[in-house]
Amino acid sequence: QLRLVESGGGLVQSGGSLRLSCAASGFSLDYQSIGWFRQVPGREPEEVLCIGPSGRKDYYVESLKGRFASSRDNAKATAYLQVNNLKPEDSALYFCAAGRFPGCTNKPHKLEDYGVWGQGTQVTVSS
């Protein structure tokens, strides 16, 4: 079946860094836009950024700009999210989503805009 599996999360102290991975199985990422989302208890999933099939990148959370960076390796069917200088307020469940449409735009998407998403990896930042 088609699925995405995230990994790389964990407990980290303030100022630390992590690299999250999003591995696809059952399909190719070649023509997919990939969105990274975060979710905290009581809130709807929030798209952090989007990376398009041709490398377009859109960032949706001002406080994360300069600290979060996305990349992709289509040959490995894997996308990455590098998170640096982490702060306690960054703590959330992070997950990826993939879809051929609608693609990256200058505004964040809803999770359901994508065709498939993973269960997420927890990032917890301690003070």
pLDDT (0 to 100) of residue 1: 85
Peptide bond into 102 cis (omega under 30): yes
Distance CA 11, CA 7 (A): 13
pLDDT in tens, the chain (127 residues): 899 999 999 999 999 999 999 999 999 999 999 999 999 999 999 999 999 998 899 999 998 989 999 999 999 999 999 999 999 999 999 999 999 876 899 999 999 999 999 999 999 999 9
